[in-house]
Amino acid sequence: MKKVLLLGLFLFQFIGYSQAIEATPSSEKASDKLLLTIFLKHDQSMNLNEIEKIRTDQGFYENFLPEGVAVVNWFVVMGIGQMVILELPASKLSAVNLAIERTAWKAFKTEIYPTYNLYPIIKNKLKNKSKVSY
């Protein structure tokens, strides 16, 4: 009898939990979006015209951002190359990686890092809360 009661209680809790998840509006669900920081490091054995030719020939500009991926920022980092910060659904990570492998390799050495925005968490702890927005 105890086993049946425990099983019934477990099922009741599981069903309630499932319905609570389904009832949660999508805006309240945990987002599967992530930030991806990509370093496109210049090969200093080539000048910018040679890098640009490789990038153009490989279709970088046409294929680099797969559908559903957004640029957050794109910086020049002097002495390194370019730093691109993308926002994307986790499901698009392999598509971004493939686009980089097909269109950026040869022109750049690449480093890719999944990242997240710590500022919303830490801003209340900072004495100076000013933030530059680009």
Interval 60-82 mean pLDDT: 93
| Number of continuous H segments (helices) and E segments (strands) in the chain | 5, 4
Q: How far is 49 from 34, CA to CA, in rounded Å?
A: 33
pLDDT, position 32: 81
* pLDDT tens digits for range 9-49: 333 343 443 343 344 444 434 468 899 999 999 988 999 99
Interval 103-129 mean pLDDT: 87
Most confident of 1-5, 72-76, 121-125: 72-76
Residues paired with 114 in a beta bridge: 36
Interval 69-81 mean pLDDT: 94
Neighbours of 52 (CB within 10 A): 13
Neighbours of 120 (CB within 10 A): 8
Average predicted confidence (pLDDT) for the chain: 79
